[in-house]
């Protein structure tokens, strides 16, 4: 006989998901890649203090770890890294986190050898150039200037690790791509103050007999055109993604002419925060598999020789990476009932490759609803709304749930509706969650991203309040119990909402920015001029930086705030959070501060992930007046 749900205050429900479970199983997967009869991907493991391991699987065999401890496969170029490995039939090449050098490892044993001998240099976007017996990679050279390192496109000899410059002169490089016969090289580059999703250039060059690029020319791009993922088709034609028409669409360049392959009011590309990102690839017959985003949902499509677009996988609502090889397809994808997993499609056969064994029955999950809502300036913004749900509990009669508004980072990131157990942590305890894609988010076209220019800290925080107001007006949540939480740039958004508006009743800030002048001045090269578009060119806009900084408006904050900070953070330095905490304490605002000596920007360790979830829940319990259930 089925037991009737227990009546209990929202926030106090006993959840089937403990913080310890989420922390232990929260393996981050990245950049699956097919090579021969194998699929490779990276796993960042909280249980191993965030160590990133290269994993390989072949049909009908269990996955195998390739990276022996203490190696960890992670690049720190631009601090966010990516593109940290490449494989041949017998060797894996990878960037080791500890020294940022490139290593080679034979695939049939664990023997590794260092390939580069360039202390002070970091490498990313590794590509194998088999014809010239070398790797092609982005190099970030910190040897002369650690604050403004030199970025170049380099080759790395496989025999001796010798470095040779292939392209230089721009502030940033990414995305090297070789044509099928190895005679041409394409790449992206851009100069500050641009970010790659604002504007960058696509270049192409032929190799001379010695493998040196000659007579390079600019194919596309500029200060108002963002290019993503150059890639050559089997017939040698260069393809790329551009937002020249307002959305990231696919283009083909051949015989000196560019033509559109897709013409959709949807994004086929991503904001290039990491190296090695991929959203499309070619099958043997020259047709494409690609992912596009519509209203916050991903869709896998097939694009034939006639450029006709056909949807092939509607159930995968959040696709983060696509790699195509021959007639095989590897995806990093999620849906509303499955967290991100590596999916390998071989003809009609499909394998779901994942080591995250933690599963919650589908009938115990809260499903996100796409909500559009009016916001300031007569514009529209979006969020995913997750109602509280736990089959074992229901709220007291007349009780509306507290609302947790989540602000993603970037601010150009995007929140999808793939299963995120961290969201279910809250909904299964009686919280409603609004995961906001505020103006500036990617996935909704160039105009939506660009609408945050000069308005950072204003439009994003207004959208978070507008989302909460919409849900209150619909009668879905309690207007007296509104919380806001954000990390990184989302932490800044949360602090702006608290400092410049009297709306939310409590906040949680994960490694957020509170004082903009020093944040922009002291940050790493990649983001050193990010504020030029988000706030205004420095130092001309100095007053805007001061007025927009939550630290200088800390006296306005009267609601409780909890802060979480890694002491090795190079993106949002610890002193930002420490100064904000001190200002609130001086003002006698209830504040809690937790710091983690071994964490950087983005928490990776199991103990940290568990402690932060438990502390945030307990903090909300104190503010909203409920007692969290003890995890079993």
Buried/exposed 587-605: b ≥16 CB within 10 Å, e otherwise: eebebbbeebeebbbbbbb
Cβ atoms of 307 and 288 closer than 8 Å: no
Confirm whether 605 is domain-assigned: yes
User: Is 553 found in the same domain as 425?
Assistant: yes
> Can you tell me the mean pLDDT for 88-92?
93
> Can you tell me the mean pLDDT for 334-349?
89
> Can you tell me the mean pLDDT for 342-369?
79
Total domains present in the chain: 2
How does DSSP assign 372-401, residue by residue? Answer: EEE-GGG-EEEEEEE----TTEEPPTTPPP
Confirm whether 586 is domain-assigned: yes
pLDDT value for 347: 79
User: Is 491 found in the same domain as 608?
Assistant: yes
Confirm whether 433 is domain-assigned: yes
- Dihedral sign of CA atoms 488, 489, 493, 499 in order: positive
Residue count (the chain): 632
Confirm whether 312 is domain-assigned: no
User: Is 368 found in the same domain as 269?
Assistant: no
Q: What is the pLDDT of residues 471-486, one digit of tens each?
A: 999 999 999 999 999 9
Residue 60, C-beta contacts closer than 8 angstroms, at least 6 positions apart: none
351: pLDDT strictly greater than 90: no
CATH of the domain at 596: 3.40.50.1820
597: pLDDT strictly greater than 80: yes
User: Is 371 found in the same domain as 266?
Assistant: no
> Can you tell me the mean pLDDT for 575-594?
96
pLDDT value for 357: 44
> What are the contacts of 151-160 at 24+ separation with CB within 8 A?
151/77, 151/525, 153/187, 154/123, 155/129, 155/211, 156/102, 156/115, 156/116, 156/123, 157/133, 158/104, 158/115, 158/133, 158/134, 159/133
Confirm whether 269 is domain-assigned: yes
Cβ atoms of 477 and 397 closer than 8 Å: no
User: Is 387 found in the same domain as 241?
Assistant: no
User: Is 568 found in the same domain as 434?
Assistant: yes
> Can you tell me the mean pLDDT for 336-365?
79
User: Cα angle at 566 between 494 and 384, to 5 degrees?
Assistant: 35
Confirm whether 406 is domain-assigned: yes
Which residue, 216, 242, 275, sits at the end of a domain? 275
> Is 367 buried (19+), middle (13-18) or exposed (0-12) by CB count in 10 A?
middle
User: Where is average pLDDT lowest: 38-52, 65-79, 307-321, 454-468?
Assistant: 307-321
> Can you tell me the mean pLDDT for 574-581?
95
Confirm whether 114 is domain-assigned: no
358: pLDDT strictly greater than 70: no
Q: What is the pLDDT of residues 544-573, one digit of tens each?
A: 999 999 999 999 999 999 999 999 998 888
Distance of alpha carbon 31 from alpha carbon 41, whole angstroms: 6
Which residue, 238, 256, 275, sits at the end of a domain? 275
Q: What is the pLDDT of residues 487-510, one digit of tens each?
A: 999 999 999 999 999 999 999 999
Q: What is the pLDDT of residues 212-225, one digit of tens each?
A: 999 999 999 999 99
> Can you tell me the mean pLDDT for 273-281?
97
Pairing status of strand 6-7 against strand 297-303: unpaired
> Can you tell me the mean pLDDT for 430-459?
97
- Grouping H, G, I as helix, E, B as strand and the rest as coil, residue 305 is coil
- Phi, psi angle pair for 621, to nearest 5°: -60, -40
Confirm whether 22 is domain-assigned: no
Q: Identify the band that residue 362 occupies on the pLDDT scale cut at 50, 70 and 90.
A: confident
> Is 540 buried (19+), middle (13-18) or exposed (0-12) by CB count in 10 A?
exposed
User: Is 244 found in the same domain as 376?
Assistant: no
Q: Identify the band that residue 584 occupies on the pLDDT scale cut at 50, 70 and 90.
A: very high
Q: Which of 220, 212, 151 lies closest to 185, judged by CA? A: 212
> Can you tell me the mean pLDDT for 247-275?
97
User: Is 466 found in the same domain as 593?
Assistant: yes
Task: Select the more confidently predicted residue: 26 or 470.
Answer: 470
Distance of alpha carbon 557 from alpha carbon 559, whole angstroms: 6
Q: Identify the band that residue 280 occupies on the pLDDT scale cut at 50, 70 and 90.
A: very high
Cβ atoms of 316 and 300 closer than 8 Å: yes
Cα-based torsion angle of the residue sequence 331, 333, 339, 343 in order, rounded to the nearest 10 degrees: -30
20: pLDDT strictly greater than 50: yes
Q: Which of 10, 26, 7 lies closest to 18, judged by CA? A: 26
User: Is 386 found in the same domain as 245?
Assistant: no
pLDDT value for 145: 83
User: Is 548 found in the same domain as 405?
Assistant: yes
pLDDT value for 2: 65
Q: What is the pLDDT of residues 37-70, one digit of tens each?
A: 899 999 999 989 999 999 999 888 889 999 999 9
- Grouping H, G, I as helix, E, B as strand and the rest as coil, residue 572 is coil
Distance of alpha carbon 14 from alpha carbon 1, whole angstroms: 21
User: Is 477 found in the same domain as 618?
Assistant: yes
- pTM value is 0.95
Which residue, 275, 300, 324, sits at the end of a domain? 275
User: Is 261 found in the same domain as 377?
Assistant: no
**Which residue range is the domain that position 209 belongs to?**
180-275
Buried/exposed 20-54: b ≥16 CB within 10 Å, e otherwise: bbbbbbbbebbbbbbbeebbbbbbbbbebebbbbb
Average pLDDT, the chain: 94
């Amino acid at each position: 006989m089925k037991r009737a749900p227990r009546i209990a205050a929202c926030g106090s429900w006993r959840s089937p998901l403990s913080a310890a479970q989420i922390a232990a199983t929260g393996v981050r997967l990245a950049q699956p890649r097919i090579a021969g009869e194998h699929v490779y991907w990276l796993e960042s493991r909280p249980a191993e203090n965030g160590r990133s391991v290269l994993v390989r699987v072949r049909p009908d065999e269990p996955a195998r770890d390739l990276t022996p401890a203490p190696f960890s496969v992670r690049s720190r170029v631009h601090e966010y890294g990516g593109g940290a490995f490449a494989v041949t039939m017998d060797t894996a090449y990878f960037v080791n986190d500890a020294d940022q050098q490139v290593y080679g490892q034979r695939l049939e044993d664990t023997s590794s050898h260092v390939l580069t001998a360039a202390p002070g240099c970091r490498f990313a976007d590794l590509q194998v150039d088999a014809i010239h017996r070398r790797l092609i990679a982005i190099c970030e050279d910190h040897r002369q200037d650690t604050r403004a390192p030199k970025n170049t496109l380099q080759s790395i000899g496989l025999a001796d690790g010798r470095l040779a410059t292939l392209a230089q002169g721009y502030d940033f490089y990414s995305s090297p791509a070789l044509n099928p016969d190895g005679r041409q090289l394409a790449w992206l580059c851009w100069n500050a103050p641009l970010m790659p999703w604002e504007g960058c250039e696509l270049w192409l060059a032929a190799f001379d007999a010695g493998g040196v690029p000659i007579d390079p020319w600019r194919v596309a791009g500029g200060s108002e055109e963002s290019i993503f993922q150059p890639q050559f088709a089997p017939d040698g034609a260069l393809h790329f993604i551009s937002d020249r028409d307002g959305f990231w669409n696919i283009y083909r360049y051949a015989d000196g002419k560019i033509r559109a392959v897709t013409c959709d009011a949807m994004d086929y590309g991503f904001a290039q925060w990491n190296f090695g990102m991929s959203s499309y690839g070619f099958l043997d017959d020259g047709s494409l598999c690609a992912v596009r985003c519509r209203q916050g949902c991903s869709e896998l499509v097939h694009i034939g020789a006639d450029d006709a677009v056909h949807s092939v996988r509607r159930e995968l609502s959040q696709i983060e990476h696509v790699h195509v090889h021959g007639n095989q397809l590897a995806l990093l994808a999620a849906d509303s009932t499955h967290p991100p997993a590596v999916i390998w499609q071989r003809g009609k056969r499909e394998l779901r490759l994942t080591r995250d064994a933690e599963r919650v029955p589908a009938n115990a999950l809260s499903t996100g609803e796409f909500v559009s809502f009016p916001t300031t300036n007569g514009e529209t913004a979006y969020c995913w709304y997750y109602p509280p749900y736990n089959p074992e509990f229901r709220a007291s009669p007349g009780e509306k749930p507290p609302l947790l508004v989540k602000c993603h980072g970037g601010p150009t990131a995007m929140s999808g509706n793939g299963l995120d157990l961290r969201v279910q942590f809250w909904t299964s305890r009686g919280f409603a969650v609004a995961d906001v894609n505020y103006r500036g988010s990617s996935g909704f076209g160039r105009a939506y991203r660009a609408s945050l220019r000069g308005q950072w800290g204003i439009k994003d925080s207004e959208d978070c309040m507008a989302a909460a107001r919409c849900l209150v007006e619909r009668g879905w949540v309690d207007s007296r119990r509104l919380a806001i939480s954000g990390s990184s740039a989302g932490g800044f958004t949360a602090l702006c909402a608290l400092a410049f508006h009297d709306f939310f009743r409590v906040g949680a800030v994960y490694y957020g920015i509170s004082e903009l002048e020093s944040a922009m001045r002291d940050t790493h090269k990649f983001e050193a001029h990010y504020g030029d578009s988000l706030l205004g060119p420095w130092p001309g806009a100095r007053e805007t930086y001061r007025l927009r900084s939550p630290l200088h408006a800390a006296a306005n904050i009267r609601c409780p705030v909890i802060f979480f900070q890694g002491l090795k953070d190079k993106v949002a330095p610890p002193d930002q959070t420490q100064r904000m905490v001190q200002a609130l304490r001086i003002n006698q605002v209830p504040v809690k501060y937790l710091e983690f000596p071994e964490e950087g920007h983005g928490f990776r360790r199991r103990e940290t992930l568990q402690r932060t979830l438990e502390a945030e829940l307990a903090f909300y319990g104190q503010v909203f007046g409920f007692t969290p259930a003890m995890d079993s």
